[in-house]
Structure formats: C-alpha cells, structure tokens
C-alpha cells in the first residue's frame, strides 16, 4: 500500500483514539506525499481543532476549502475554529453557508444557535437548536442548548422535554 495512504489511515486511527498531536503529525507526513489532498488538509484541521490549536486548524481547513471546495462538515468545523479565535461574524457566515448547502446540518445548526443565543436572540437560537436535534435526535449538546433557549423564552413544557431528551442522548 502507498506510504501516503498508510500515513493517512494511521492518522485517522490516532484521531479516533484521541491522540490528536500524533494524528496531526501523521497527516503532515501524508501531505508531503499528496499536498493537494483536501481530505488530508481537513483531517489535519480536525486534529488541530481537537487539540485546541485553533489557528492551525483554521489554516488547514482553509487549505482544504481551497483544494476541494465547500462542504457542510468543512464549513462547520472552520466556523468552530473561527469562533474559538473570537471571529464570531466569520464563524456565523461559515455556519450559514454550511446550512445553505445542507439545511439542518446538526453541528452548523447547533453552533449557529450558540451565537444567536449569546446575542440574546433566543427565539432564533431555539429554531437552530430544534433543527440540530431534528437531524440528530441524540445530540446532547443541542438538547441542552434547546433547554436553555426555551428557559429564556418561558417555554416550560418544552424546556422540560429538552432536558429529558438531553439526558437520553449521546455527545456529538
């Protein structure tokens, strides 16, 4: 098997086990053999994002975007990196673009909801959180975010249901 493919597969395995720095190193090595691969750039971005290296994640995600075009997962993860870097408006733009490509994309919906909630736009945030849990019914973070939005809106019955569903769910 090609060395680049072996390194990419090793990186994916390391990423799945939470060894983010080692995964990033494997993806960096794999990119030497295939520098034009949007998937390798994306996976490097994931490893960096999970490792808390948001600037490096942003660079890798933007390289992936330039190499392979837009897709909702890429835009949503780029949005998260931007948000973590304090670039809220840019993050919102990426989430909205992801949602234009795939309405109801769970992460983009939830993360857009977080931004709207932080601005006090609770009704809009509620809609975004609802979209996330409709697409992924066991999305714990989105259920608890929905609970908080409903609480702010005085929707007691819906808040209690979201709390119950959140306790049944799984994280991301």
pLDDT in tens, 104-156: 999 999 999 999 999 999 999 999 999 999 999 999 999 999 999 999 999 99
d(CA 97, CA 35): 26
**Side-chain half-sphere exposure of 38, counting CA atoms within 13 A:** 12
Q: Return the pLDDT at 172.
A: 44
Closest CA to 117 of 134, 157, 109: 109
d(CA 133, CA 56): 30
d(CA 60, CA 77): 11
pLDDT in tens, 51-88: 999 999 999 999 999 998 899 999 999 999 999 999 99
d(CA 55, CA 117): 25
pLDDT in tens, 157-167: 999 899 888 88
Closest CA to 163 of 145, 83, 154, 171: 145
What is the number of helices (H) and of strands (E) in the chain? 10, 0
SS3 143: helix
Query: 73: burial class by Cβ within 10 Å (0-12, 13-18, 19+)?
Result: middle
pTM of the predicted protein model: 0.90
């Amino acid at each position: 098997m090609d060395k680049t493919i072996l390194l990419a597969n090793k990186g994916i395995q390391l990423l799945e086990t939470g060894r983010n720095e080692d995964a990033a190193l494997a993806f960096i090595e794999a990119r030497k053999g295939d520098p034009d691969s949007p998937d390798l750039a994306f996976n490097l971005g994931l490893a960096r994002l999970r490792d808390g290296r948001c600037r490096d994640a942003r660079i890798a995600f933007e390289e992936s975007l330039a190499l392979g075009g837009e897709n909702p997962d890429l835009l949503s993860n780029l949005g998260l990196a931007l948000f973590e870097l304090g670039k809220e408006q840019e993050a919102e733009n990426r989430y909205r673009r992801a949602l234009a490509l795939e309405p109801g994309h769970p992460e983009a919906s939830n993360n857009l909801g977080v931004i709207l909630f932080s601005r006090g736009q609770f009704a809009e945030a509620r809609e975004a959180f609802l979209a996330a849990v409709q697409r992924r019914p066991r999305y714990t973070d989105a259920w608890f975010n929905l609970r908080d939005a409903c609480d702010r809106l005085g929707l007691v019955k819906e808040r209690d249901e979201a709390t119950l569903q959140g306790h049944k769910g799984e994280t991301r």
